[in-house]
Structure 1
Amino acid sequence: MQFYVVNGQVPSETQDEGYTAFIDYMEAGAAEDKANGFELVARLHMPESGRICVICKAVDAKALFRHFMVWRSMFGVEFEYSPALTCGEMVEMQKQHNARLGAAD
């Protein structure tokens, strides 16, 4: 599964309503946090600005969008998705890159 960093912005006008729904979601067990090719790693809230940061894994873009779609459609939360690499993946990729650069000499 691919890691993603997801930044969200909750509109001020829907923040109370959205977080009330979020309470229900969490108290019901947050089943979608690990379902349908999606796995939550961390969810962080910055309520003073209405921002959310989520670290997650997803099998593909559809699984990622499926997880966040309800919050977008019901509360207008805007999300920005960025694929991310683990330290191990970054080291492997940089070594391959360095080898290609050395081969060009």
Structure 2
Amino acid sequence: MAYYHVHGLIPDTFAQSEGYQLFEQYIANGAPKDNFDGFELISRVHAPQTGEVFVTCKAENHLKVAEHFAIWRAKFGVEWDVKPVFNDKEVIQRNKQVAEEIAAMG
């Protein structure tokens, strides 16, 4: 599974107020879309003073990421900036691969 860092921006205070009401229900219901087959939420933190949400997750593919985040965009207009990221082991592996490719070039 790949790691993703996701930044969410809630478009306005009305959407934020309405969205957080639904979010509270979502959490009260056990947050069912935080962990499902092919998706695992690692962390979610909020900056309500600026209408931002920051999420780190693991997913099999972009469709699994969309399965978690799409409803918030469709219902409340949350803009999601999804970036694939590396964990420590992966970045070291990537760096070694790049170094080997550069060395092979001569």
- TM-score when scaled to structure 2? 0.94
Q: Which residue of 2 aligns with 1:34?
A: 35
Residue in structure 1 matched with residue 65 of structure 2 by the alignment? 64
Residue of structure 1 equivalent to 2:84: 83
Distance 1:16 1:77 in 2: 12
Count of aligned pairs between the two proteins: 105
What's the offset of the Cα at 1:66? 1.2
**Which amino acid is the alignment partner of residue 8 of structure 1?**
G
Supply the distance in 2 between the matched residues of 1:62 and 1:42 (Cα, whole angstroms): 19
CA RMSD of aligned residues (A): 0.9
Structure 2: gaps (5+ residues): none
2:9 aligns with 9
Deviations 1:49-82 (A, max 9, x none): 0011100011111110111111111111110110
TM-score by length of 1: 0.95
Once the two structures are aligned, what percentage of the paired residues are identical? 37
What's the counterpart of residue 21 of structure 2?
A: 20
- SS of the equivalent of 2:42 reads strand
Structure 1: gaps (5+ residues): none
